[in-house]
Amino acid sequence: MSETDASGPEDARLVALPLYKRAEEAMRARIADGRWPPGARLPNEPRLAEEFGVSHGTLRKALAALEAQGLVERRPGRGTRVARTTDEAAVYAFLRLWDTGGERVIPEPLSEALAEDTATPAEVEELALAEPRVWRLTRCRGHAGRAVSLERMVLPVARFPELGAHRPLPNSLYPFYESAFRQSVVAARDDLTAEPADAEAAAALSVAEGAPLLCAARVARNLSGEPVELRRSLYLTAGIAYRVDLSK
Amino acid sequence: MSETDASGPEDARLVALPLYKRAEEAMRARIADGRWPPGARLPNEPRLAEEFGVSHGTLRKALAALEAQGLVERRPGRGTRVARTTDEAAVYAFLRLWDTGGERVIPEPLSEALAEDTATPAEVEELALAEPRVWRLTRCRGHAGRAVSLERMVLPVARFPELGAHRPLPNSLYPFYESAFRQSVVAARDDLTAEPADAEAAAALSVAEGAPLLCAARVARNLSGEPVELRRSLYLTAGIAYRVDLSK
DNA sequence: AAGTGGTCTAGACCACTCC
DNA sequence: GAGTGGTCTAGACCACTTG
């Protein structure tokens, strides 16, 4: 009852995990820690099934879950690969702007400023920083001939060591984070509010001070759930909206 | 080559649908048209498999898809039922307000006004109306002692025949739509913008005219994709935010 | 105890991709 | 033609709920 009874109260949940879930978590861990980097090809299904000691069907259930989460891409005849964060994928998942005509809006960079700084206590906590050095990136982007967004990003210097060497930064940042710093963003949370334009935003977006702007305060996270980027975007929602699809 | 070749170019897509997808669509249709109303218990898996002429595993794959979409609820030992739109489910899926303390915000009704009216041409199109009579429901809701939202709903009289008989309306409208009018909302699209408060909103929310408000313009749809409700919510985002979770 | 859904297996066959 | 993922089956066994 001491050594043989392995199902103690602590690991009862782990023992109870079904095989397909264990295989899924094992593969997710390989992607998260870089053993299977973006673009890497996975062994084929029979090999994976043998490796994890499960049947074909069970292994496929685990892979289906990873595919549904956008972590791997599967194609008949071609195999299974770890999904790269492409421009298209990043825009699709993380840029929610649409114009009144029903077309997606992808603003183009107008200006950017980058500086190293010390994080505020709130930023240290939100980014779970061991070391308070951060980059502050401010970017203004435009669409259809006018400035529509002013974005202020905060990035840990520890995760993005030589960010200043890559300027000007590409329009789509998340694919760049992945390819240049091995920092993949797979999830984000936006808290949306309406805010009056401050002096800097009013100047950048050519509106009066106090004009209503849509503010999106974001925490972007990697596969391990660690915060990678803070972002505060101010949008001039004239002919543009932040679109959210809700469903059961 | 004439009658035997059933795979003509028109129905090639239909013929190619895998069995699990066909079973899924067949069951979805039964839910959508009311043959399996909310709360109804489905036949057990062996019966359904036999009815659709597929194996246990194939039938389960179809049911798993419906469960993932929130259309059915399954419990070991209890069976499979068509999901009801409960208050909890509706709040979880369609009310995205959180306070700065990280708690969900569920505003309480302060006042409501209901009137029958003729839809504007834009509303006729957005609601796909055959007949332009609509209800206009205006509701003010509050939280923590102050008014935080002013909502204007537009509902087709044809779908909600005796809406006026149910006043005062319950706080959570979507479960009420389902139980009182058999109108289930399973998806919605919110277009978010920042707007200056007009005179009515300023009075209702106790802010100055022109103060920034978060505006959510919504189209809510049923299982068949038909528009059921238009809604324009104005939120006073002081200590409150509209939260959006994004992921690959 | 009976009935339900949940897991897992072993194997067959198909469609697609690439050489 | 060889290799890949996608579909489908038949059956076994388990865990949970209800009477």
3-state secondary structure chain A: CCCCCCCCCCCHHHHHCCHHHHHHHHHHHHHHCCCCCCCCECCCHHHHHHHHCCCHHHHHHHHHHHHHCCCEEEECCCEEEECCCCHHHHHHHHCCEEECCCCECCCEEEEEEEEEEECCHHHHHHCCCCCCEEEEEEEEEEECCEEEEEEEEEEECCCCCCHHHHCCCCCCHHHHHHHHHCCCCCEEEEEEEEEECCHHHHHHHCCCCCCEEEEEEEEEECCCCCEEEEEEEEECCCCEEEEEEEEC
What percentage of chain A exceeds 70 in pLDDT?
94
Residue B55: CB less than 7 A from any atom in strand D: yes
On whether the CB atoms of residues A124 and A132 are closer than 8 A, the answer is yes
Q: What is the pLDDT of residue A16?
A: 77
pLDDT at A185: 98
Q: Within 13 Å of residue A143, how many CA atoms lie on the same side as its CB?
A: 19
DSSP B43-57: PPHHHHHHHHT--HH
The overall average pLDDT reported for chain B is 93
Taking only the tens place, the pLDDT of each residue in B23-42 is 999 999 999 999 999 999 99
For chain A, positions 49-68, list CB contacts with chain B under 8 A: 57
Q: What distance in Å separates the CA atoms of residue B84 and residue B70, rounded to the nearest whole number? A: 9
User: For the whole model, what pTM was predicted?
Assistant: 0.92
pLDDT of residue A7: 34
According to the model, what pLDDT value does residue A22 have?
Answer: 97
pLDDT band at A14 (very low <50, low <70, confident <90, very high): very low
Averaged pLDDT for residues A88-100: 97
Q: Does B193 touch chain A (CB under 8 A)?
A: yes
Residue B9 has pLDDT above 60, yes or no: no
pLDDT in tens, A154-175: 999 999 999 999 999 999 999 9
B191 at A interface, C-beta within 8 A: yes
Average pLDDT, stretch B191-212?
Answer: 98
pLDDT band at B2 (very low <50, low <70, confident <90, very high): very low
Whole-number pLDDT of residue A163:
97
Torsion angle (degrees, nearest 10) of CA A101, A210, A155, A243: -20
Q: Which residues does A122 contact at the CB level (< 8 Å), separation at least 6?
A: none
Which of A198, A192, A209, A206 minimizes the C-alpha distance to A238? A206
pLDDT at A50: 95
pLDDT at A85 over 60: yes
- Asked if B78 CB < 7 A from strand D, the reply is yes
Separation between Cα atoms, residue A128 and residue A71, nearest integer Å: 24
Question: Cβ(B228)–Cβ(B220) under 8 Å?
Answer: yes
Average pLDDT estimate for B195-222: 98
Q: Please identify residues in chain A, positions 140-169, with a C-beta within 7 angstroms of any atom of strand D.
A: none
Instruction: Answer yes or no: is pLDDT of A191 > 90.
Output: yes
Q: Quick check: A29 pLDDT over 70?
A: yes
Residue with the larger pLDDT of the pair B10 and A190: A190
pLDDT of residue B12 exceeding 70, the answer is: no
Per cent of chain B over pLDDT 70 is: 94
* Mean pLDDT value across residues B130-151: 97
Q: Which of the four pLDDT bands, split at 50, 70 and 90, describes residue A9?
A: very low
CA B85 to chain centre: 9
Give the DSSP letter string of B102-157.
S-B--PEEEEEEEEEEEPPHHHHHHTT-SS-EEEEEEEEEEETTEEEEEEEEEEET
* Contact with chain A for residue B208, Cβ under 8 A: no
Bridge partners, B229 (sequence order): B220
How many Å apart are CA B179 and CA B173, to the nearest integer?
10
In this prediction, residue B13 carries a pLDDT of: 40
Whether A242 contacts chain B with CB within 8 A:
yes
Mean pLDDT, residues A198-207 taken together: 98
Name the residue closest to D8, CA to C1': B58
Using 50, 70 and 90 to split pLDDT, how confident is the model at B139? very high
pLDDT computed for residue A8 by the predictor: 34
**Taking the C1' atom of C14, which residue's CA lies nearest?**
A76
pLDDT at B16: 76
Query: What is the reported pLDDT for A152?
Result: 98
Nearest residue to D10 (CA, C1')? B55
The stretch B63-88 carries a mean pLDDT of: 96
